Amino acid sequence: MTGDFVVMPPDLPAPAGPFSPEEQAAVYRAIFSRRDVRSQFTQRPLDDSTLMRLLTAAHHAPSVGFMQPWNFVVIRDLAVKARVQQAFAAANAEAETMFPEHRRPLYSSLKLEGITQAPVNLCITCDRTRGGAVVLGRTHAPEMDLYSTVCAVQNLWLAARAEGIGVGWVSIFHQKDLCQILNLPDHVVPVAYLCLGHVDELYSSPELQAKGWAERLSLQDLIYHDGWGQGAA
């Protein structure tokens, strides 16, 4: 789905300029109402056409040197999901012990994954050999392939919000376990393990904020001018 966007030939400039107020409002609504979903998934199946629209949005993310380092591993098999959930559970038990003792009860009460509840799981990977040994824009910052892949994650997440699809990012794994379960080659890194599915409602604020784990930082405290720690003139 491209809406009213007109695809121009690759060697010709496309029209630029601001979106209409309604279009701008839709973009900002997707940004501000996006949530990390863990427990609100319904059992309605995620159809292939919707999934392909989300993957298309991800594939149109910016990437340094136009390397497009991502691949998308779509997981629907219950046995594979069960193995991933077991890997999460083992890592999550370790993670709980890393927090101060007074925070552990709250940590253990948080639902941090929807692996088996979500109709579709998706692992977005980064092929660290994509583009060859020397890639434009990556010559002095080899990590730019990983950052580019994260842009694909965000594109998919915002498109999913617009489609009414919930997305949850599960990050509590030993990477080697995930690589083994999904049979990833040595040069491919799992960047994001996502749970996808229809949702009927979302938290009005981030779930970790709603449940008292953390608060949103003040934007004004995070802005410097012309150098670290410098306020506005």
- Write out the H or E segment, with its range, that includes residue 59: helix 48-59
Alpha-helical regions (H) of 60-213: 78-96, 104-109, 144-163, 175-182, 207-210
pLDDT at 10: 73
Domain layout of the chain by residue ranges: 35-201
Q: Tell the CATH superfamily of the 35-201 domain.
A: NADH Oxidase (3.40.109.10)
In tens digits, the chain (233 residues) has pLDDT values of 555 555 667 778 888 999 999 999 999 999 999 999 999 999 999 999 999 999 999 999 999 999 999 999 999 999 999 999 999 999 999 999 999 999 999 999 999 999 999 999 999 999 999 999 999 999 999 999 999 999 999 999 999 999 999 999 999 999 999 999 999 999 999 999 999 999 999 999 999 999 999 999 999 999 999 999 998 87
Determine the pLDDT at residue 77.
98
Q: Residue 70 pairs with which residues in a beta bridge?
A: 126
Residue length of the chain: 233
pLDDT value for 231: 87
Position 7 scores a pLDDT of 62
| Predicted local distance difference test score (pLDDT) of residue 233 | 74
Global pTM reads 0.93
